Amino acid sequence: MNMRVLIVDDEPLIRAGIRDGLAGMPQIETLAECSSGVDAIAFLCSRPVDLVLLDVQLQDCTGLDVVERVGPDRMPSVIFVTAFDEYAIKAFELNAVDYLLKPFDQKRLRNSVERASKRIEAHRQADIAVQLKALLNSRSRKWPERIVVKEGERFEFVSVDSIDWIESANNYVVLHCGQSSHLLNESLTNLESRLNPARFLRIHRGRMVNLARIDAVHPMLGGTYELQLRTGIRLSSGRQYKSQIQALLRA
């Protein structure tokens, strides 16, 4: 029995790459391609689909919006396609939902589809619904608006919006807020998990930046970048964060 597949992505080249990769898999029947969330929702609600390759960030909505509108219990197996959304990737891994990180090759695509095929054959749709519900619940998480720091014998409340960038200092971090700074007894990795990834981006193993403070991005040698903030400060990125910076530029 063929596995019925729907491709959902707003980039024609990505859709073509997925289509070409699936063409070499005889058990796959590509039903259609959708370039928007609205079209995907309508298609998924109108006819049976076994697997959907779903872009995380569409022009009109997100992939999770599609899941929410269709309903986790009605959704087929899903392979999310994402450019770099770090929080989304962590959520997918936490909830055992498969994803493809752009750019991906045909081997990675086929491996993901084959794993999805095995799940479908094992009749694990109930498990898939549970995973998707957990993923939707993780999206509703509330991010802090203030951070408590100890200054001498008192505690101060630092507004998250006031932070320009964050610097690692061993097991501490320094919150740079305009002309002032605050030392926080917390690791950068732990603080990163508490901050909204839609507002703060890790650009280096020792630095994070408030996206609203970035004025310009300057390409450097070796796949690194220099981010210029509104304050005039320039922060260099690490090579391993190249894809995150490129995705930021595309967005």
Q: What pLDDT digit, counting tens, does each position of 55-103 carry?
A: 988 888 888 889 888 988 888 888 989 876 665 666 676 555 788 888 8
Do residue 184 and residue 245 come from a single domain? Answer: yes
Instruction: Report d(CA 182, CA 185) in Å as an integer.
Output: 10
Give residue 57's pLDDT: 85
Closest by CA to 179, choosing from 216, 233, 134, is 233
Q: What CATH number should be reported for the domain holding residue 106? A: 3.40.50.2300
Do residue 216 and residue 108 come from a single domain? Answer: no
Give residue 180's pLDDT: 94
Do residue 134 and residue 209 come from a single domain? Answer: no
Each residue's pLDDT, cut to its tens digit, for the chain (251 residues) gives 689 999 999 999 999 999 999 998 988 999 999 999 999 999 999 999 999 999 988 888 888 889 888 988 888 888 989 876 665 666 676 555 788 888 888 898 999 898 888 877 766 656 677 777 777 776 666 688 899 998 888 899 999 999 999 999 988 999 999 999 999 999 998 898 888 887 899 999 999 999 999 999 999 988 899 999 999 999 999 998 888 888 888 75
**Total number of domains constituting the chain:** 2
Do residue 67 and residue 154 come from a single domain? Answer: no
Beta-strand pair 3-8/28-34 = parallel
Give residue 22's pLDDT: 93
Do residue 114 and residue 17 come from a single domain? Answer: yes
Domain containing residue 171: 146-250
Give residue 138's pLDDT: 66
Give residue 144's pLDDT: 84
Q: By the 8 A CB rule, do 149 and 159 touch?
A: no
- Of 139, 172, 198, the position where a domain reaches its end is 139
Instruction: Report d(CA 33, CA 180) in Å as an integer.
Output: 51
Give residue 122's pLDDT: 67
- Count the helix, strand and coil residues of the chain and give each as a percent rounded to the nearest 5: 40, 30, 30
Do residue 162 and residue 245 come from a single domain? Answer: yes
Give residue 13's pLDDT: 92
- Of 139, 174, 194, the position where a domain reaches its end is 139
E strand or H helix at 68, and its extent?
helix 63-70
197-201 contacts, C-beta under 8 A, 24 or more apart: 197/85, 197/86, 197/87, 198/87, 199/143, 199/160, 200/163, 200/166, 201/86, 201/244, 201/248
Do residue 103 and residue 130 come from a single domain? Answer: yes
Do residue 13 and residue 38 come from a single domain? Answer: yes
Do residue 106 and residue 172 come from a single domain? Answer: no
- Of 107, 139, 171, the position where a domain reaches its end is 139
Do residue 37 and residue 126 come from a single domain? Answer: yes
The whole-angstrom distance between residue 35's C-alpha and the CA centroid of its chain comes to 19
Give residue 61's pLDDT: 86
Mean pLDDT estimate for the chain:
87
pTM, full prediction? 0.56
Q: What CATH number should be reported for the domain holding residue 182? A: 2.40.50.1020
